[in-house]
Structure 1
Amino acid sequence: MTRPNEGFGLLELLLALALGLVVVLAAIQVSLATRSTYVSQYASELLQDDARFILSKMTQEIRLAGMFGCLSLPSITDAPVDFSRPVGWFAGGGSTGLILVTADVGAQGSRPDWTVLSDCVESAQAYAGSPRPGSGQISFPLRRLTYTYESGQLKLSTLATPAKAVLVDNVRAFELSFGMAGASGSTVVTRYDSQPADESLIRSVRIVLTLQDPGGRVRDQTYSVVAALRNRLD
């Protein structure tokens, strides 16, 4: 006598449901972990993009600081007093800043604060604005840039546009230190100083930038760069 086929019992059904629930929960966990990884990576990439933009811009401008054309500064007629301080800094009152007098890299829409017209042989003269060069002259546009860190933002202003424009938000820290030469005629950096007493000895600038994710999806990211001045400061 054979027993008739029977369906699943209650125990088997509960076991199947439990196993199915485990599989579903595991799939959900994997999905959540994947999404969390993607979100944190995306947030990190945004911070990296902001840091790459501002540090590459500042590095280029620091390297061109003090580039007043093909003749030395003493040879430039009517040179403004700002030319004697191509790299400067300030700190206090809740803000930190870097001041650069640098060659205008030719960004579209920029307006130079001064222009040096020179024949690159024996004459050079500084003018406000952007006059046209005469016959045999080369034009060297210059700007004074002021980077200011305050209230969690890094801002930029110029003589032509004194209103501070926000470049980067969510800045946790902005630190400056300066590579100092041991003597005025030397290009060798012997130490780094965050408060240089003699700006004529500055040969490089170190920037440490810390950015934070406003959504808290990733830890604070710190980036640093050192840019050497390619031009004489005297």
Structure 2
Amino acid sequence: MKRQQQGLSLIELMVSMALGLVIVLGVTQAFLSAKNTYLTQNASSTMQEDARYLLTRMTQEIRMAGMFGCLATITPPPNNPEVFTAAQATPISWTLDNSNGNRLMLVTADVGSAGTVPTWTVLSDCLTTATAYNGAATPASGQLAFPLRQVYYSFKNNTIYTGAVGAQQPLISNVSEFTVMFGLAADATSASVTSYVATPATAQMPFIRTVRLSLKMTDPNGRTRDQTYSVVAALRNRLQ
């Protein structure tokens, strides 16, 4: 005698399919949530790394701004001496320029330029003589060489560029705001900062002691909210 064959009823099949669909939707939602979390964290990490790279680089150069060697009196180079003299008088400046972008200029001791030629080189015996030369120069016996670079950073079109005016190369993108503030001392002999200004006057240049950089990064895909980073760097040679 044959046994009667039994199968799933329509209701049981529909319930099974509904439960399977719920499980699939749950797994899909968990996957999408994990993916979105990863993309958000990755975007935030990228913004943080870009900001850290830029601020670390600029801080290193700001700290050495205005360092022209071991003697205060330096003979300027014979060719275009007025350019070097102006750089000595104003080793740091912030120019507001709507067409070319806001521009930060630094004259800084060469802390490592990947083999590029310095803007000037000061040769000195650190006792009586110090002479500046355009580009690279080789010290004689008893002399030290102090390579100097004139560095520019420009901010325009949500991008920070570096390089000479007219030959700028992009450094980091997705920057919605970039501000520079200068910490001023009360007089030329004081080391304490008493106020911050955005555009110091020419007469205030000798009073600059610190520079505050502020950077707001934006994710172009909108995965995470804007992030603001800031740092304060001191001009070491003016605090000694």
Report the TM-score when normalising by structure 2.
0.89
Pairwise CA distance, 1:179: 0.9
* 5+ residue gaps, structure 1: none
Answer yes or no: is 1:91 the counterpart of 2:101.
no
Per-residue deviation, residues 74-95 of structure 1 (Å, max 9, x unmatched): x211253211111111113252
Report the secondary structure of 1:142's partner residue: strand
Q: Distance in 2 between matches of 1:92 and 1:104?
A: 27
Q: Is the 8 A contact 2:97 2:103 kept in 1?
A: no
| 1:218 counterpart letter in structure 2 | T
Which residue of structure 1 aligns with residue 117 of structure 2?
111
Aligned to 2:85: 80
Provide the C-alpha distance between the structure 2 equivalents of 1:196 and 1:173, rounded to a whole number of angstroms.
20
State the identity %: 48
Aligned 1:155-194 pairs, distance under 5 A: 155-158=161-164, 163-194=167-198
The whole-number CA distance in structure 2 between the counterparts of 1:189 and 1:162 is 34
Corresponding pairs, count: 227
Determine helix, strand or coil for the equivalent of 2:22.
helix
Aligned to 1:16: 16
Deviation, structure 1 residue 107: 2.3
Following TM superposition, by how much is the alpha carbon of 1:6 offset from its aligned partner in structure 2, in angstroms?
Answer: 4.1
Q: Distance in 2 between matches of 1:125 and 1:169?
A: 40
Deviation of the 1:46 alpha carbon: 1.4
The one of 202, 208, 222 aligned to 2:214: 208
RMSD of equivalent CA atoms: 1.8
What is residue 25 of structure 1 aligned with on the other side?
A: 25
Given candidates 86, 96, 108, the residue that maps to 1:102 is: 108
Letter aligned with residue 70 of structure 1:
C
Once the 2 structures are TM-superposed, how far is the Cα of residue 15 of structure 1 from its aligned partner? 1.3
Amino acid at match of 1:49: E
C-alpha distance in 1, partners of 2:197/2:53?
A: 25
TM-score after normalising by structure 1: 0.91
Aligned-pair CA distance for 1:14: 1.3
For residue 202 of structure 1, what is the amino acid of its counterpart? I
* Residues 80, 126 of structure 1: 8 Å contact kept: no
Compute the displacement of 1:109 (Å).
2.7
Which residue in 1 is equivalent to 2:79? none
Q: Secondary structure at the match of 1:76?
A: coil
TM superposition shift of 1:100? 0.6
Corresponding position: 1:50 with 2:50: yes
Residue type at the aligned position of 1:77: T
Which digits, 9 at most, give the CA deviation of each residue in 1:184-220, with x for residues without a partner? 1101011111122212111111111112122222222
Is 1:225 the equivalent of 2:223?
A: no
For structure 2, list consecutive stretches of 5 or more residues without a partner in the other structure. Answer: 77-83
Task: Say if 2:218 and 2:226, in contact at 8 Å, map to a contact too.
Answer: yes
Amino acid corresponding to residue 19 of structure 1 in structure 2: L
Assess if the C-alpha contact under 8 Å between 1:117 and 1:137 holds in 2: yes
Shift of 1:9: 2.1
